[in-house]
Amino acid sequence: MVALENLSKTFNSKTSVVEAVKNVSLRVEQGEIHGIIGLSGAGKSTLVRCINLLERPTSGKVFLDGEEITAMSNRELRLTRRKIGMIFQQFNLFASRAVWRNIAYPLWRGGLTKKQMADRARELLALVDLSDKENVYPSQLSGGQKQRVAIARALANNPRLLLCDEATSALDPQTTSSILELLKKLNKRLGLTTIVITHEMHVVKEICDRASVMENGEIVESGEVFSLFANPQRRVTQDFIETASNFSKINSMIDENHVITRLRPGERILKFRYMEKSEAEALVSAVSRRFNIDVNVIFANLEWVGDAPLGGIISVVSGDSRNIDEALLYLRDKHVGVEVILDNTRVSETNYA
């Protein structure tokens, strides 16, 4: 569907040369929601602008359905852009046009009468659940409503591809969820291939099928969302996962000698993580029953990616030392990663993961 080949974008200014995107190759399949996650300045916005050539790449090629966009004339490019919808962090609606006229903007010169354009706008407003706002001006809308109008406008010409540049970053968490839900619905209902740029981990978790992690202009890791987040290979990916969980708190609790981290002899603090897609089993009660140990949960962070649980728990485990060791072997067979955070049974720390 979308293929980027060795894409680079360099910005030259008098004082410096910035390589915003470095030799990126990426394929996004038809009907996929692909997330591109990275810290600000990682080059993700530049990368997405290279797809519809709002930024012309310094080198490399962009293909949409086999057609090379980077080789098109200006006129062909403009026609192709009508088939690529784009939404933005700041919505970018036309303030002087009522909602329906915003949506009708890209329909101009499409051979429709004014009435047909109004009808199409109404149809799109219904699709984004904003039917009562057609004659309102953007300034009277909330952020979430503005983004819905922007989505409707981006869909006016039945695009094959939707580019979302930090589309939820200016919205509160609740509105973010509703916009993400809408994007997912559109993806399902229209088969709309979607590329989502974000710096928020939960956006990727919530709607993406596959994701790429960007750092310093490069895609450092890419893959199916579950495996990407279950087994992050790169530091930056791990950091993103940390931001979405409360696990890092355990370290400061140990430093502060929090009451729960003052272990009695034989106790350990362990972190369990799902490493592979698995059926959700009652693992905690299973190991405590089978091996006669106590599992006291301190932190739990479980998310559902598709139908598989992602995340894990941190808990204080106590009981007979040999029983605990056996329990850990049992969990490893179930593809649960175990990491020892604090151990009051032996001198050296062991990593079972």
Residues that bind another protein (CB under 8 A): 52, 54, 74, 78-82, 84-86, 88, 90, 92-98, 105-106, 108, 137-139, 150, 153-154, 157, 163
Apex CA 304: angle with CA 302 and CA 309, to 5°? 65
Q: Which of 184, 170, 147, 159 is nearest to 32 (CA)?
A: 184
Minimum gap (Å) between residue 61 Cβ and another protein: 20
| Cβ–Cβ under 8 Å, residues 81 and 128 | no
Minimum gap (Å) between residue 97 Cβ and another protein: 8
Q: Which residues pair with 271 in a beta bridge?
A: 314, 339
Minimum gap (Å) between residue 82 Cβ and another protein: 4
User: Tokens in use for 352?
Assistant: 């079972």
Minimum gap (Å) between residue 126 Cβ and another protein: 21
Long-range contacts of 8-11 (CB under 8 A, 24+ apart): 8/57, 8/58, 8/59, 8/60, 9/43, 9/46, 9/47, 9/50, 9/55, 9/57, 9/58, 10/58
Minimum gap (Å) between residue 304 Cβ and another protein: 34
Nearer to another protein, 103 or 225 (CB): 103
Nearer to another protein, 149 or 275 (CB): 149
Nearer to another protein, 125 or 275 (CB): 125
| Cβ–Cβ under 8 Å, residues 349 and 254 | no
Minimum gap (Å) between residue 57 Cβ and another protein: 16
Cβ-based neighbours of 101, under 8 Å, separated by 6 or more: 94, 121
Walk across the sheet containing 308-318 and list its strands: 294-305, 308-318, 268-274, 336-343
Nearer to another protein, 84 or 228 (CB): 84
Nearer to another protein, 17 or 95 (CB): 95
* 138/135 Cα distance (integer angstroms): 10
Helix (H) or strand (E) holding 9: strand 2-12
Minimum gap (Å) between residue 78 Cβ and another protein: 4
Cβ-based neighbours of 211, under 8 Å, separated by 6 or more: 34, 35, 36, 37, 204, 222, 223, 225, 228
Nearer to another protein, 138 or 311 (CB): 138
Minimum gap (Å) between residue 137 Cβ and another protein: 4
Beta strand 67-68 pairing with 59-64: antiparallel
Nearer to another protein, 7 or 107 (CB): 107
Nearer to another protein, 3 or 170 (CB): 170
